[in-house]
């Protein structure tokens, strides 16, 4: 039943694209006929290359969309101020989808058919991005730099989809390995968003636990766009879980953690990178009295060992201050910045005669592109994911700092359980 619905959804998306194309072609006339693209490539003119994005700029995931976009724009504006790439300015059209899959689909159809963009860039979210894959395949348009680690964007292999970040499977596998091997925990539960994003993280956690002969002691969920976490929390607390892997967004995850503290439920909480470190920290503050660990796919800003990982993070901080002076540097924006770095590198390598296939081949030619110490990006004809590394951070004094000592995380948990409270936890720096 589920597979048939997915198949029907793909057919509907393809029909919609075909109908829109026919309407636009038949509707072109004296009122404003679109000029044929130069070099036969949509979105490319003598002095401009046009990109399109659909992401959450309003609603419950707006922080993720806004900061991804601004992080990318901080670098793109910098490149434009230097004259662009091959004499072309980079223009990015961004539409708000409020983290809603149907809106994302409609936005993407408009970007491809009406706006005739060269490539799709910096989409945010699994349920939204997965929805547009049939359009990407039919239009043969590059899609790169998505703020999601969904396995559906990696398997089956799609030549037109370029991932930069590590996957959720990699994040959850690394988290489970630390929880089981380094901390000796075996009772691990999963709290997830009930959609493609949550299912992906749930599957990744289940596969990782299976490697140790384990399975989740409980599974709890909430519906996307809601804060209905109570039922899932009750189920997980009843299981006696020692750790909870969380696949959600910042608001419901924060509510779950704070309610757990009120109910004296004190496992280790692990969240994947999509949750958004800075927003989760802001909502939890200094008084949650919980041990919260988050995996990251870009180098963290804070912690005694973080400086050696920074590299080009310092450029992001500088450019964000120049172009968006009211924003604070954050991990979400840094990922958008990294996406823009790879986009621009691909445009440079593709040369003056820019085509979509040429651009993808250029991306595939990138080898050992260094962002900073230990942060290297490589692609290939059969490798469309540039980064593999996963970092871990822990909430300390209202911010996430790099974890360099996992036994210290366990000691922090023991302090919480022995009743020292949030102040003692905050003082135990990793």
For residues 270 and 295, the answer to whether their CB atoms sit within 8 Å is yes
> 168-177 and 196-210 helices cross at what angle (nearest 10)?
40
Name the band, by pLDDT with cuts 50, 70 and 90, for residue 11. very low
Answer yes or no: do 47 and 158 share one domain: yes
In a domain, 97, yes or no: yes
Tokens linked to 331: 């991990």
Average pLDDT, the chain: 87
Residue ranges making up the domain that contains 143: 33-166+313-377
Answer yes or no: do 120 and 265 share one domain: no
Answer yes or no: do 67 and 209 share one domain: no
In a domain, 124, yes or no: yes
Answer yes or no: do 70 and 139 share one domain: yes
Give the mean model confidence (pLDDT) for residues 198-212. 97
> 250-262 and 277-284 helices cross at what angle (nearest 10)?
30
Answer yes or no: do 37 and 49 share one domain: yes
If one counts the domains in the chain, the total is 2
User: For residue 4, is pLDDT > 60?
Assistant: no
Answer yes or no: do 355 and 258 share one domain: no
User: For residue 274, is pLDDT > 90?
Assistant: yes
Name the band, by pLDDT with cuts 50, 70 and 90, for residue 1. very low
- In the chain, the percentage of residues whose pLDDT exceeds 70 is 85
In a domain, 392, yes or no: no
- Identify which has the larger pLDDT, 221 or 315: 221
CATH code of residue 38: 3.40.50.2300
In a domain, 279, yes or no: yes
In a domain, 21, yes or no: no
In a domain, 162, yes or no: yes
Distances from the Cα of 420 to the Cα of 13, 43, 258, 287, angstroms: 55, 59, 17, 12
In a domain, 26, yes or no: no
| 91-110 confidence digits (pLDDT tens) | 999 999 999 999 999 999 99
Answer yes or no: do 405 and 277 share one domain: yes
Answer yes or no: do 233 and 177 share one domain: yes
Answer yes or no: do 118 and 52 share one domain: yes
User: For residue 289, is pLDDT > 90?
Assistant: no
């Amino acid at each position: 039943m589920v597979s048939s619905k997915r198949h029907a959804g793909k057919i509907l998306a393809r029909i919609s694209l075909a109908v829109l194309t026919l309407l636009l072609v038949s509707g072109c006339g004296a009122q404003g006929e679109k000029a044929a693209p130069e070099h036969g490539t949509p979105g490319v003119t003598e002095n401009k290359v046009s990109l399109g994005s659909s992401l959450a700029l309003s609603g419950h995931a707006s922080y993720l969309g806004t900061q991804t976009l601004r992080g990318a724009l901080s670098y793109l504006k910098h490149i434009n101020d230097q004259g662009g790439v091959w004499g072309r300015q980079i223009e990015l059209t961004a539409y708000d989808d409020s983290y809603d899959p149907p809106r994302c689909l409609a936005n993407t159809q408009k970007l491809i058919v009406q706006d005739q963009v060269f490539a799709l860039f910096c989409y945010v979210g699994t349920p939204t991005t997965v929805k547009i894959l049939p359009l990407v395949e039919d239009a043969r348009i590059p899609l790169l730099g998505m703020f999601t680690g969904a396995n559906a964007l990696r398997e089956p292999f799609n030549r037109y989809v370029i991932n930069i970040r590590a996957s959720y499977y990699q994040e959850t596998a690394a988290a489970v390995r630390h929880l089981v091997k380094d901390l000796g925990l075996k009772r691990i539960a999963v709290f997830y968003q009930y959609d493609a994003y949550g299912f992906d993280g749930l599957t990744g956690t289940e596969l990782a636990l299976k490697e140790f002969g384990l399975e989740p002691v409980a599974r709890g969920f909430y519906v996307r766009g809601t804060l209905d976490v109570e039922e899932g929390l009750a189920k997980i607390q009843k299981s006696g879980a020692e750790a909870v892997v969380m696949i959600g967004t910042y608001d419901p995850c924060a509510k779950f953690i704070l309610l757990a503290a009120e109910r004296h439920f004190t496992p280790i909480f692990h969240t994947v990178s999509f949750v958004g470190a800075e927003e989760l920290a802001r909502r939890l503050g200094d008084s949650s009295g919980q041990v919260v660990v988050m995996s990251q796919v870009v180098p963290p800003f804070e912690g005694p060992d973080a400086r050696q990982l920074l590299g080009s993070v310092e450029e992001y901080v500088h450019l964000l201050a120049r172009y968006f002076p009211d924003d604070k540097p954050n991990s979400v924006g840094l990922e958008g910045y990294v996406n823009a770095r790879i986009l621009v590198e691909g445009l440079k390598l593709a040369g003056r005669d820019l085509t979509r296939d040429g651009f993808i081949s250029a991306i595939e030619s990138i080898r050992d592109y260094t962002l900073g110490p230990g942060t290297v990006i490589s692609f290939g004809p059969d490798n469309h994911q540039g980064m593999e590394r996963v970092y871990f951070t822990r909430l300390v004094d209202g911010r996430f700092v790099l974890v360099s000592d996992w036994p210290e995380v366990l000691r922090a948990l023991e302090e919480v359980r022995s009743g020292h409270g949030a102040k003692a936890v905050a003082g135990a720096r990793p």
